[in-house]
Amino acid sequence: MSTAIAAQGSRLVDKDQNKFIKLKQAIVLGLPGTGVASMSEALKKLGCIVYDTKEVVKSHERDFGLWMECAESKAAGLPFGRNEFDKLMGRYDALVDGPAVYFTDELLKAYPDAKIIITYRDPDEWMASMNHTSFWLGLSTFSPLKLLARLDPIFFGKISGFVNTAMVPFYGGKVDGITTRQAYMDHYEKIRQQVPARRLLEVNRISTWEPLCKFLSKSIPEEPFPQ
> pLDDT digit string (tens) for 184-222?
999 999 999 999 999 999 999 888 999 999 999 999 999
From the list 216, 222, 223, the residue with the least C-alpha distance to 43 is 216
CA 32/CA 29 separation, integer angstroms: 9
Query: What is the C-alpha R_g of the chain?
Result: 17
CB 108 within 8 A of CB 195: yes
Q: Yes or no: say if 191 and 104 are a contact pair by the CB < 8 Å rule.
A: yes
Position 135 pLDDT exceeds 90: no
Q: What are the pLDDT digits (tens) for 143-176?
A: 787 888 788 888 888 888 888 888 888 988 776 6
Spatial separation of the C-alpha atoms in residues 27 and 19, rounded to whole Å: 20
Q: At a CB cut-off of 8 Å and minimum separation 6, what does 109 contact?
A: 81
State percent of the chain over pLDDT 70. 92
**Coil, strand or helix at 38:** helix
Instruction: Report the pLDDT value the prediction gives residue 52, as an integer from 0 to 100.
Output: 97
Confidence (pLDDT) at 164: 84
Helix, strand and coil content of the chain, in percent to the nearest 5, comes to 55, 5, 40
* Cα 78 to chain centroid, rounded: 19
Tell me the average pLDDT of the chain.
90
- Considering only CA atoms, which of 80, 179, 181, 166 is closest in space to residue 130? 181
Residue 178 confidence (pLDDT): 79
* Residue 1 pLDDT exceeds 60: no
CATH of segment(s) 18-204: 3.40.50.300
Q: What is the pTM of this model?
A: 0.90
